[in-house]
């Protein structure tokens, strides 16, 4: 205690020392210093927290907008994909019909009936009446098409002279789609 008392007396007896000037400044400007410390230790961190909170809210809003945009783009892409797929399927049916008719023309055959069954998988019901040699060549060429498979094949003698009637059901394999 005595030591502290001696130091304080020294301070007040020597008013030109820097320690005296600092203590005197603190004593005179106590409210200003308290306000500065309060502002530095309390208000600035609170303002920083509020700024971070607002930035997070803005970021979350931006993410929400991007999610809505991505969902919209995904829906548009799916619609476009479905449209292209249906167009591809339509072209597929046309291409298969064209291929079958070209093979029939190659062997000089007339197709009596060609029907598509799209309800339970894709299948083609085909009916041709011609001589046996041409029909067997036609069957052989149809066997070479990788995406067509015979499900049912019936050969019957036709009412016309020396003609055979081919009635067949061809199944379109899924990998052609």
Q: What pLDDT does 177 receive?
A: 45
Same domain for 81 and 155? no
Residue in 98, 87, 89 with CA at minimum distance from that of residue 122:
89
Q: What pLDDT does 117 receive?
A: 86
Same domain for 6 and 84? yes
pLDDT at residue 136 is higher than 70: yes
Task: Tell me the pLDDT band of 87, cut-offs 50, 70 and 90.
Answer: low
CA–CA distance, 75 with 53 (Å, rounded to integer): 33
Q: How far is CA 177 from CA 28, 94, 128, 157, in A?
A: 91, 12, 26, 36
Last residue of a domain, which of 106, 124, 142? 106
Main-chain dihedrals φ then ψ at residue 88, nearest 5 degrees: -65, -40
| Stated length of the chain | 177
- Residue range 116-120: average pLDDT? 80
Q: pTM of the entire structure? A: 0.49
- The angle, 0 to 180 degrees and rounded to 10, between the axes of the packed helices 44-106 and 132-143 is 160
Q: Where are the beta strands (DSSP E) in the chain?
A: 111-117, 123-130, 148-157, 164-172
Last residue of a domain, which of 106, 133, 155? 106
Same domain for 37 and 66? yes
Same domain for 126 and 89? no
CATH code of residue 125: 3.30.70
81-90, 113-122, 137-146, range with the lowest pLDDT: 81-90
Same domain for 31 and 51? yes
Same domain for 91 and 129? no
Q: What pLDDT does 21 receive?
A: 85
Same domain for 55 and 119? no
Determine how many CB atoms are found less than 10 A away from the CB of residue 136.
14
Same domain for 28 and 95? yes
Tell me the three state secondary structure of residue 128: strand
Task: Tell me the pLDDT band of 60, cut-offs 50, 70 and 90.
Answer: very high
Same domain for 102 and 114? no
Q: What pLDDT does 91 receive?
A: 53
Same domain for 5 and 85? yes
Q: How far is CA 156 from CA 17, 135, 141, in A?
A: 128, 12, 20
Domain count of the fold of the chain: 2
Q: Where are the beta strands (DSSP E) in 55-118?
A: 111-117
Same domain for 122 and 157? yes
Same domain for 127 and 150? yes
- Residue range 4-16: average pLDDT? 79
Mean pLDDT of the chain: 87
Last residue of a domain, which of 106, 134, 151? 106
Higher pLDDT, 160 or 43: 43
Q: How far is CA 124 from CA 43, 46, 79, 111, 113, in A?
A: 81, 76, 29, 12, 10
Q: Which domain holds residue 101?
A: 1-106
Determine how many CB atoms are found less than 10 A away from the CB of residue 135.
19
């Amino acid at each position: 205690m005595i030591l502290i008392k001696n130091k304080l007396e020294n301070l007040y007896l020597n008013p030109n020392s820097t320690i005296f000037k600092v203590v005197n400044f603190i004593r005179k400007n106590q409210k200003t210093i308290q306000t500065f410390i309060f502002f530095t230790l309390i208000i600035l961190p609170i303002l920083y927290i509020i700024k971070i909170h607002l930035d997070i809210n803005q970021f979350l809003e931006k993410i929400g907008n991007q999610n809505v945009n991505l969902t919209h783009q995904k829906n548009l892409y799916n619609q476009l994909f479905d449209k292209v797929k249906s167009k591809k399927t339509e072209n597929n049916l046309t291409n298969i019909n064209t291929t079958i008719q070209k093979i029939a023309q190659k062997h000089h055959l007339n197709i009596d009936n060609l029907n598509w069954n799209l309800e339970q998988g894709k299948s083609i019901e085909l009916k041709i009446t011609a001589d046996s040699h041409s029909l067997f060549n036609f069957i052989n060429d149809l066997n070479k098409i990788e995406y067509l498979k015979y499900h049912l094949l019936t050969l019957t003698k036709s009412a016309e002279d020396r003609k055979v009637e081919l009635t067949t059901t061809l199944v379109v394999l899924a990998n052609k789609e």
